Amino acid sequence: MPQTPLLLIEDTPSLQMVYRSVLTNAGHAVRTAGTAAEGLAAFLETGSSVILLDLMLPDRDGLDLMREMLALRPEVNVIVITANGSINKAVEAMRAGAHEFLVKPFDETRFLGAVDNALAGRSGPRRAPPPAPRPVVTPAALLPETGAFVGSSAAMSRIHAKIRSVARSMATVFITGESGTGKELCALAVHDNSARAGGPFIALNCGAIPQDLLESEVFGHVKGSFTGAISDKPGAAAAADGGTLFLDEICEMAPALQTKLLRFLQTSTVQPVGATRPRKVNVRIVCATNQDPLDAVRRGQFREDLYYRLYVVPIHMPPLRERDDDVIEIAEAALARFAAEEGRRFDGLSPEVTALFRRLPWPGNVRQLLNVIRHVVVMNEGGPVTPDMLPDIVADEGGFTPPPATLAPLTQEPALDTLVGRPLAEIERIVIEATLARFDGSVPKAARVLEIAPSTLYRKLDGWKG
């Protein structure tokens, strides 16, 4: 008996091609549609039991289409896919009958797992039994942003081992690292390798939401609790019930909300704004920051008791400049992926570009590298990647030099008698600035001479600018 195909409704051709390829490689028959009208026609024709539906369609709202499909055949399992990661959309889709909700980008294993669950008729948020030990699910990905976990350096091997170890526990994970190092991907890997992998993964950026709305986003609100609250709204904590709540930029959270978060961690209950009764939820917390959290505690920006409550298992994501030849592996993987998406053929990195990539400090980390490779693919037809194909700021190595500290670097090295009698912190700054001046502002070169990590030097420079 022929296999009933999955129905994929996605209007972006490149993503439709990627999703279809992943599904067919996994042994699934797939029927595709690019509009709501085409999708509805295919739905009526094929009798598919599992629908993969993008909410943003050119001719109709995806949620309306889903409601019509479920009205015609209530037994259908719909997996909603969207780049809109708002809690409102997630909850609205689940209330309307969605079987599962995936927010782009997501990795291949998570994608196929959702399909398998839907085919088996299992509910997405239902808790699964503890999984057997397996490799960390990270390198295989549907979207290039997950390139942050491509690489075989010793630093990343340690990260993978730590994720495998902590994922099987209920311990709170605190991820630190510079912007662009892949902190959210690390959190997702912890979730995907845990017993909660079948449950929701809800990410909330505490620094991107206005402080007066943050409490509502985390804990929700009831209709009429404040001006503009026209309906009940569950927060991120309730939406993550049975799964993982990822709080990014946790050190940006307002002090008043930190108090409520601490109570939530102690009681596992949430009380929406304006509600009279709390609700019990089962949520694992993973948080992240690009700051030094202990320094935020010393400055009074972050509660000390909350810090000790959250800082149970720390994972530090290393910057790209400390990952050895991962920069080349990531660049080559991204080049192959982007070239396939754009329908072009490239023959890898030239030796000149490979050498340049190895010596650049990459202050924007993996995110910056991916943007550079995307630029190369979009602006060139193919062939080997040569220095003239790179953006000007990359081709000119000086484009990566960090801005000077508040005090101008010394033009000559300090004599010993000029240092005697000064505070040690001031002496340290004078020596560092003089070393940077000697090497024309090159942080990696200065760090090698001073025998410290480049990331340490960047943090000191950032601190002096503040």
Residue 192 one-letter amino acid? D
Q: Are residues 371 and 457 in the same domain?
A: no
Q: How many domains does the chain have?
A: 4
Q: Are residues 230 and 196 in the same domain?
A: yes
322 or 82, which is more confident? 322
Read off the pLDDT of residues 409-438 as tens digits, 9 standing for 90 and up: 444 455 666 777 778 778 888 888 888 888
Instruction: Determine, yes or no, domain membership for 408.
Output: no
What pLDDT shows up at residue 465? 62
Read off the pLDDT of residues 352-406 as tens digits, 9 standing for 90 and up: 999 999 989 898 899 889 989 989 999 998 899 999 899 876 755 533 333 333 3
Instruction: Determine, yes or no, domain membership for 1.
Output: no
Confidence of residue 456 (pLDDT cuts 50, 70, 90): confident
What pLDDT shows up at residue 409? 41
Instruction: Determine, yes or no, domain membership for 454.
Output: yes
What pLDDT shows up at residue 174? 96
How far, in Å, CA of 205 to CA of 247, rounded? 6
Residue 87 has pLDDT above 80, yes or no: no
Of 343, 370, 400, the one marking the end of a domain is 400
What pLDDT shows up at residue 83? 65
The average pLDDT across 235-264 equals 87
CA distances from 174 to 26, 55, 190, 192, 206 (A): 34, 32, 11, 16, 14
In three-state secondary structure terms, 111 is: helix
Q: Are residues 78 and 40 in the same domain?
A: yes
Residue 380 CB neighbour total at 10 angstroms: 16
How far, in Å, CA of 153 to CA of 360, rounded? 17
Residue 388 one-letter amino acid? D
What pLDDT shows up at residue 423? 80
Alpha helices in 177-246, H assignment, sequence order:
183-192, 211-219, 236-239
Q: Are residues 150 and 285 in the same domain?
A: yes
What pLDDT shows up at residue 211? 66
Instruction: Determine, yes or no, domain membership for 130.
Output: no
439: domain range? 416-465
Residue 306 one-letter amino acid? L
Longest dimension (CA), the chain: 90
Read off the pLDDT of residues 155-202 as tens digits, 9 standing for 90 and up: 888 998 899 889 888 899 999 999 889 898 899 889 988 888 888 998
Q: What is the mean pLDDT of the chain?
A: 79
How far, in Å, CA of 247 to CA of 187, rounded? 10
Confidence of residue 228 (pLDDT cuts 50, 70, 90): low
Q: Are residues 25 and 100 in the same domain?
A: yes
Q: Are residues 306 and 337 in the same domain?
A: no
Q: What are 160's two structure tokens?
A: 């993978």
CATH of the domain at 430: 1.10.10.60
Question: In this structure, what are the phi and psi dihedrals at residue 112, rounded to the nearest 5 degrees?
Answer: -70, -35
Confidence of residue 133 (pLDDT cuts 50, 70, 90): very low
What pLDDT shows up at residue 105? 67
CATH of the domain at 16: 3.40.50.2300
Instruction: Determine, yes or no, domain membership for 136.
Output: no
What pLDDT shows up at residue 457? 76
Q: Are residues 206 and 262 in the same domain?
A: yes
Q: Are residues 394 and 420 in the same domain?
A: no
What pLDDT shows up at residue 6? 94
Of 120, 154, 182, the one marking the end of a domain is 120
Q: Are residues 310 and 358 in the same domain?
A: no
DSSP letter (8 states) at residue 144: G
CATH of the domain at 372: 1.10.8.60
Of 250, 283, 316, the one marking the end of a domain is 316
Q: Are residues 281 and 389 in the same domain?
A: no
Q: What are 275's two structure tokens?
A: 């509600």
Q: Are residues 15 and 157 in the same domain?
A: no
Q: Are residues 29 and 85 in the same domain?
A: yes
Read off the pLDDT of residues 140-155 as tens digits, 9 standing for 90 and up: 333 334 344 677 888 8
Residue 122 has pLDDT above 60, yes or no: no
103 or 324, which is more confident? 324
How far, in Å, CA of 203 to CA of 335, rounded? 28
Instruction: Determine, yes or no, domain membership for 406.
Output: no
First-to-last alpha carbon distance for the chain, in angstroms, is 68
Instruction: Determine, yes or no, domain membership for 411.
Output: no
Instruction: Determine, yes or no, domain membership for 344.
Output: yes
State the Cα torsion 152-204-283-319 to the nearest 10°: 20
